[in-house]
Amino acid sequence: MNIIIFSTEDYHHTYFINKINNIYPINLVVYEKRRLEKEYNTSNPYQAEQDKFEKSYFFSKVPNEIDRKIKIINVKSINSKEVSEIALNFKYDVVIVFGCGKINEEIIRDYNNKIINIHRGLASKYRGLDSELWAIKNYDFESIGTTIHYIDKNLDTGDIVYQKRLTLRKDDQIYKLRAKTTELAVEGTLKFINDLILHKVVKSKQEKYGKYYSSMDLPGKKNCEKIFKNYIRNNCK
């Protein structure tokens, strides 16, 4: 099984890559260096708490650096000519996208429609960015989770191969959600790869597409933190 991953350098992506690589060796990781920038403040008010938790949670299980045996290529944009050329120079059975910008149609064609995306949200309700936060803002706590789907020309609308809701617990904090939805991503990806090897992948067309959401602003994130704390205190055991 030849695996390529398109991603960015963050704690949860490093954990994901190393967990997958422990079971199915990864041939190549392509890191996109360009970051999404908005005209408004999208800072994370609980960034320090999230970083501290993820370092402890993730890297007590796997190394905090990518395995040196994996080849890494850094690109400015995931839609660059360099990424197109990778399709010609590397063998691959699947390309896994986790945390990059929107993949354009040319790249999709170059990789023969073999690209799947990790979406930390339920795509049938929340497409785009900060899906768990928009679910919290809407008091839609049952719609926090992870979807894995094939990539098509639109955003988060491709055929689904895995989807699971996150079960919230009394000790949950908003800064733990990225780690926990990443754990679902690991679970789903390992299942997908195994199914791919056995030629047992089941694709489900999305009956309806979720609303598209962009990055949440700083005041919105602060409000979500309060909403989430109140919900956990009053509803989880």
How far apart CA 61 and CA 72 sit, in angstroms, is: 22
pLDDT above 90: residue 34: no
pLDDT above 90: residue 73: yes
Long-range contacts of 20-27 (CB under 8 A, 24+ apart): 20/96, 20/186, 20/189, 20/190, 20/193, 21/67, 21/70, 22/62, 23/190, 23/193, 24/190, 24/193, 25/69, 26/67, 26/70, 27/2, 27/3, 27/70, 27/71, 27/90, 27/91, 27/92
Q: In which band, very low, low, confident or very high, does the pLDDT at 35 lie, cut at 50, 70 and 90?
A: confident
Ordered by start, the domain boundaries in the chain are 3-235
Average pLDDT over residues 83-90: 95
Determine the residue type at 77.
Answer: S
pLDDT for residue 237? 76
Phi, psi of 52 (to 5 degrees): -60, -45
pLDDT single digits (tens) 180-206:
999 999 999 999 999 999 999 999 999
pLDDT single digits (tens) 45-64:
999 999 999 999 999 989 99
Average pLDDT over residues 13-37: 94
Average pLDDT over residues 214-219: 96
pLDDT for residue 53? 97
pLDDT for residue 133? 98
Tokens 């908003």, residue located = 174
pLDDT above 90: residue 78: yes
Q: Average pLDDT of the chain?
A: 96
Domain 3-235: which topology?
Answer: Rossmann fold (3.40.50)
Angle (CA) 75-177-135 rounded to 5° is 95
pLDDT single digits (tens) 109-157:
999 999 999 999 999 999 999 999 999 999 999 999 999 999 999 999 9
With a threshold of 0.75, does the pTM exceed it?
yes
